[in-house]
Amino acid sequence: MFHAVRLWWSGGRGKVTFRLFLFEFIVVVAGVLTAQSLANWVSARHEDRAIREENERVRYEIGRARQVARIWMKAAPCLLERVDTVIRRSSSAGVLDDGQSATPLFIGYTVEPLKEDMRRAFGERFGVAQVDNYALVSTTAQSIGDSFNLVRLGWDRFALMDSSLGPVTQADRATVKDAAIQVRAHLQRIKYRVGWIESTAERLGIPAQTSNANMGSAQPVADCDQIWRSGRVWQEGS
């Protein structure tokens, strides 16, 4: 058997066959490696684009949230001043008139959190600190929305002391005072939290953003009276 193989090889046919086999093997391996490299390159490009688009989305939303935070930074002290007036009047014989019980319109902006399947890639690309800052703004913006919804619910009870709606009883005063104290606490939380958004956006280098969408050009009011005249905590930008 070995003698036959030796003759086959020494006769030249074996060498030609081996060279053909070796050439085809190299071609196949090179093709597999090239295909794998191409697939990896396409996958990396896709992941890179997904990360870039997600980063742009989050930064835009943080910019919008920063603009809303500035609106609340101006409005919160005005609202607190009105609530303090309500508390004082509910503790005496005073009543609310001239629209003092009317609930102004509020505004908020939600920052959707990073997609869960991208958090690790974001951490590797931008660092854990930036991912944490994104998460801080997202949760803070959500909590502001939750708080001003509670403010709205409590503020609606102020109508119990509206003299234009009928006599005001002691029970009405007690209800309004309790509601006003809770509203005050929620407004204080909003006041602190919008400061977190402002400072975090500043660290991230994200400017306040507006848009041409409905209420997208909202700006802080010039003064407290503008809130009570317009019935909302913001003014429309030019």
Q: Using alpha carbons, select from 78, 151, 59 the residue that is nearest to residue 108.
A: 151
pLDDT tier at 121 (50, 70, 90 boundaries)?
A: confident
Q: In the predicted model, what is the mean pLDDT of the chain?
A: 84
Q: Using alpha carbons, select from 81, 77, 195 the residue that is nearest to residue 143.
A: 195
Tell which wins on pLDDT, 175 or 37: 175
Tell which wins on pLDDT, 14 or 161: 161
How many residues does the structure list for the chain?
238
Q: What is the pLDDT of residue 41?
A: 46
Residues 6+ positions from 151 with CB-CB distance below 8 Å = 79, 106, 183, 186, 187, 190
Q: Is the pLDDT of residue 26 over 90?
A: no
137 residue type, one letter: V
Q: Is the pLDDT of residue 105 over 80?
A: yes
Give the pLDDT confidence of 174-198 residue by residue, as tens digits. 999 999 999 999 999 999 999 999 9
Q: Average of pLDDT values for 2-6?
A: 52
Q: Average of pLDDT values for 28-45?
A: 55
Tokens of 154: 């409590």
Half-sphere CA count of 37, side-chain side, radius 13 A: 6
Return the DSSP state at 153.
H
Q: Where are the domains of the chain?
A: 2-236
Q: Is the pLDDT of residue 222 over 50?
A: yes
Mean pLDDT is lowest, of 27-41, 69-83, 123-137, 153-167, for 27-41
- The full DSSP string for 172-198 is HHHHHHHHHHHHHHHHHHHHHHHHHHH
Q: Which ranges constitute the DSSP H helices of the chain?
A: 2-10, 13-90, 119-126, 128-156, 170-204, 224-230
With 0-12 / 13-18 / 19 or more C-beta atoms within 10 angstroms meaning exposed / middle / buried, residue 227 is buried
Please, what's the b/e burial string for 64-75 (b: 16 or more CB within 10 A of its CB; e: otherwise)?
bbbbbbbbbbbb
